[in-house]
Amino acid sequence: MRVNKDTIVKAITLYNKYRSPEAHAKLIGLEEEIIVKFEGTFCETCGVNDWVEDFKYVLEDLNIKAELEEIYEPIDPGENFRIGVFKVKLKRNRR
């Protein structure tokens, strides 16, 4: 299911507002899936992948149900980013 790019940009803005500078999201693809790059120092007490999964909950707050399909990690251990691939399932009904 396709989603409005403005809504995804809003989700990224909200994500960055509350999670930056530890994690910063950037949209890198929006076709059948939402592809977002997450960079930052991340809090090591949390699992690094939890920072990526949190984006799903921001989407839900904006009435978009999505599942985290895949997390790609850098090949070089010196790089500190993850790429999350989210598949939109259905739009939730507003109450």
35, pLDDT greater than 90: yes
95, pLDDT greater than 80: no
Q: Domain residues of the chain, as ranges?
A: 5-91
Q: Give dist(CA 59, CA 70) in Å, integer.
A: 16
Beta strands in 10-80 (DSSP E): 24-30, 33-39, 64-72
Taking only the tens place, the pLDDT of each residue in 41-66 is 886 666 788 889 999 999 999 999 99
**Residue 90 — very low, low, confident or very high, per pLDDT cuts 50/70/90?**
low
Candidate CATH numbers 3.40.1130, 1.10.3470, 3.30.70, 3.30.980; the one for domain 5-91: 3.30.980
Cβ(80)–Cβ(42) below 8 Å: yes
Q: What is the pTM of this model?
A: 0.86
Q: Give dist(CA 55, CA 7) in Å, integer.
A: 13
